[in-house]
Amino acid sequence: MGGIGDALLLVSLCGLCTFLTGISLSAIATNGAMKGGGPYYLIGRALGPEVGVSIGLCFFLGNAVAGALYVLGAVETFLKALPSAGIFTETTTKVNGTVSEPIQSISTHDLQIYGIVVTIILCFIVFGGVKMINRVAPAFLIPVLFSIFCIFIGIFLAKKDDPAPGVTGLSLESFKDNWSSDYKNTNSAGIPDAEGNVHWNFHALVGLFFPAVTGIMAGSNRSASLEDTQRSIPIGTLAATLTTTVLYLVSVLLFGAVATRDKLLTDRLLTATIAWPFPAIIHIGIILSTLGAALQSLTGAPRLLAAISNDDILPVLNYFKVAEGSEPYMATLFTAFICMGCVIIGNLDLITPTVTMFFLLCYSGVNLSCFLLDLLDAPSWRPRWKFHHWSFSLLGASLCIVIMFLISWSFTVVSLALASLIYYYVSIKGKAGDWGDGFKSAYFQLALRSLRSLGANQVHPKNWYPIPLIFCRPWGKLPENVPCHPKLADFANCMKKKGRGMSIFINILDGDYHERAEDAKAACKQLDTYINYKNCEGVAEIVVAPNMSEGFRGVVQTMGLGNLKPNIVVMRYPEIWRRENLKEIPGRFVGIINDCIVANKAVVIVKGLDEWPNEYQRQYGTIDLYWIVRDGGLMLLLSQLLLTKESFESCKIQVFCIAEEDTDAEGLKADVKKFLYDLRMQAEVFVIAIKSWDVQPENGSQPDESKEAFTAAQQRVADYLAEIKETAKKEGTPLMADGKPVIVNEQQVEKFLYTTLKLNSTILRYSRMAAVVLVSLPPPPVSHPAYCYMEYMDLLVDNLPRLLMVRGYRRDVVTLFT
């Protein structure tokens, strides 16, 4: 129907597709040892287990269905050669609406019965193993080669109407008449019929012919049985592809010149009719050729399924697992079941598009794998086969997709949908497998390029993302096998917008690195499991150091790369330090804050972490901000991020500006409102004036519990100062605290205590019922004992159930412009 012109284009298109795929296959197959599974093994190790399994299972189905295609072809040829073997009555098809030249069409029931019998016989051969298949292979190959020889001899010996009417011998006139296309309708059996319901065009011929070039994977399907895959697969695959393509092209030219168009359309076994010395040789050759191809399919498909099962990605395929070197009997039975199901359909023209789609999907996967590996050019990519280039692989993959849509867009959509469903199922139910696939290599290179493109300059506020360093080490002890406070990950998720961003969970083990290296690995794995369990985007890091202070100092200096360094340190407030008399905590706590200030890291300290809500606990009320010092807008940004979470989305923001009594309150309020408006933030603004330097509290200005806390703090500080003074006097040294010289101005200490008392009283007055309170974190005063600073902090957070103390750093994290 297509004529010589369309036929040459068809063969060239399909041949180019398989040749490019063969080049890609050769490159991947020679890049290291290749185990069983053929194309599945290659694709899976290049594109990852999800893609490998989805395409591998489709390719398995394609091979199983192809087995039925070849079996039906053998049976049809047999019944054509020996009509008396038919059990049921053949049907007569009219040609051009008449019965002057009736064509006998084989009964579908005969195809089904003989097809099932042949499939069972082939299965017995496959059960005999690779050795038996190799023994019977010459019995299939030699007659096929001899029949091809007889066909070409017959073509050159043919004369007009000899050996049959419609044969012209090699004629230029016939060549010209058959050059152009003349597509006709056919019936369901493929016989030309003017009233047939099957319309043919070039696209349909591609789907019909392509299974003839799908044998290039036969060698790779049996990769586990090959002695030297790196030599056998490239030579065998490309030699077979070139040889068959040349034979197809020559056959198109010769057959187009040896018979009339009607003869070519109506004689479905013209090769047998024209062969020398008699047709029976060709009948035997076709039968053995198709049976050999069916045997290859029934041999390769079970091994492919067994290879997928042995990788233990999908538990549902565990039934098909086999030990190394064993025969995949269960997989063979399953393949035979699928093959016989397709044989029962009994129609070659319905089966071939399905086979074509699955094979093309596999070929595109092989080409994409080679394209990705070539493009990434990782150090491990060193194939022995040098004649390859990423452009060839990309062209091959594109050609596969184009051919799929040429054949049938509906079949293409169905096959892609099936592969996508398998991919989704594997990603949900499959076990994780790290095969060093190309996608991870691509992610790695993309990360490196992105990191270089970010440079070392500061990120613009519009592109600023919080990268919190979550300090997991507790100020006490956690239960065994609990690597981190259960609510720290919940709080880390609240610092991200729609879950985007990365958190770094860090823990520090005290001791010698050489002695505790294995402990660090186990702790890192445990912490990583915790992060995954909490559905938090983050990574776990464990550092071994002589003590916590030195470990944290090293972490805050070196953690991260370029502009992907953590910019916020998050830790829990040490509420237990006085209750459990942990005297070392004040020095460590102050040291961490000072390290963050020196390293220019923002600090967020969470008080009341035990009561922090998870994603299902909805909060009502307000988010109150006590804005004391300029922090680059970090406190405002955190409040906005909290509102994006379901637990806080019903809350409203209130901003309290703490100012001196002589400050223009209305002017300050107007300035802050304008600032918030420019930042696209909605909040109610209050200005509160306090006397920060009044040493003695006024009567009635503070709640009774605040007065009691203030008095108790005064007494504890006085006792502590007396103790260190006594120690310095006895030892004859300067005043020392935490191993460092300090300068104590008792009047200044008193002022700090009263300032924090006033701030605590103000927060209790206005925000006792707030969902969460954010307050600026005052820096530790220079040369003050750490113990005194902890007293200031305890007085600030007293009676506040949920509080965030925030200290920004020397830059803006919000911008006025979009």
pLDDT tens digits for range 705-718: 667 888 888 888 88
Q: Which of 379-388, 543-552, 772-781, 798-807 shows the lowest mean pLDDT across its residues?
A: 379-388
d(CA 803, CA 570): 13
The answer to whether residue 452 scores a pLDDT higher than 70 is yes
pLDDT at 774: 92
d(CA 497, CA 465): 9
DSSP 689-703: E--TT-SSPPTTSS-
**Radius of gyration, alpha carbons of the chain:** 40
pLDDT at 190: 62
Peptide bond into 566 cis (omega under 30): no
Taking the domains of the chain in order of start, what are their residue ranges? 2-429, 461-607, 625-817
CA end-to-end distance (rounded Å), the chain? 63
pLDDT higher for 36 or 137?
137
pLDDT at 606: 92
d(CA 487, CA 534): 9
Averaged over 101-112, what is the pLDDT?
Answer: 73
Q: Which of 89-103, 182-196, 578-592 shows the lowest mean pLDDT across its residues?
A: 89-103
The answer to whether residue 278 scores a pLDDT higher than 90 is no
CB of 217 closer than 8 Å to CB of 300: yes
The answer to whether residue 100 scores a pLDDT higher than 60 is no
Q: At what angle do helices 390-407 and 409-429 cross, to 10 degrees?
A: 120
pLDDT at 772: 92
pLDDT at 605: 92
pLDDT tens digits for range 225-249: 677 777 888 888 888 899 999 999 9
d(CA 793, CA 697): 18
Length, in residues, of the chain: 818
pTM: 0.69
pLDDT higher for 272 or 579?
272
pLDDT at 815: 45
H or E stretch at 401: helix 390-407
Averaged over 721-740, what is the pLDDT?
Answer: 82
d(CA 703, CA 695): 17
d(CA 343, CA 73): 10
CA-wise closest residue to 606 among 638, 579, 637, 644: 638
pLDDT higher for 399 or 325?
399
pLDDT at 671: 83
CB of 536 closer than 8 Å to CB of 492: yes
Averaged over 624-635, what is the pLDDT?
Answer: 79
CA-wise closest residue to 741 among 783, 776, 683: 783
Other beta carbons within 10 Å of 729: 10
pLDDT tens digits for range 541-599: 999 999 888 999 999 988 887 778 888 899 999 888 877 777 788 888 999 999 998 98
Q: Which of 191-195, 314-318, 331-335, 401-405 shows the lowest mean pLDDT across its residues?
A: 191-195
Three-state secondary-structure class, residue 302: helix
The answer to whether residue 396 scores a pLDDT higher than 90 is yes
pLDDT at 318: 86
The answer to whether residue 816 scores a pLDDT higher than 50 is no
pLDDT tens digits for range 5-61: 999 999 999 999 999 999 998 888 888 766 767 778 778 877 778 888 888 888 888
- CATH node for 461-607: 3.40.50.620
pLDDT at 399: 93
pLDDT at 350: 66
The answer to whether residue 105 scores a pLDDT higher than 90 is no
pLDDT at 99: 43
Averaged over 267-274, what is the pLDDT?
Answer: 84
d(CA 65, CA 46): 26
Q: Label residue 287 exposed, middle or buried (CB < 10 Å: 0-12, 13-18, 19+).
A: buried
CA-wise closest residue to 71 among 289, 250, 370, 229: 289
Mean pLDDT of the chain: 82
Three-state secondary-structure class, residue 288: helix
d(CA 491, CA 615): 10
The answer to whether residue 65 scores a pLDDT higher than 70 is yes
The answer to whether residue 817 scores a pLDDT higher than 50 is no
d(CA 125, CA 295): 8
Q: Which of 56-65, 115-124, 305-314, 691-700 shows the lowest mean pLDDT across its residues?
A: 691-700
- CATH node for 2-429: 1.20.1740.10
Q: Which of 46-50, 270-274, 474-478 shows the lowest mean pLDDT across its residues?
A: 474-478
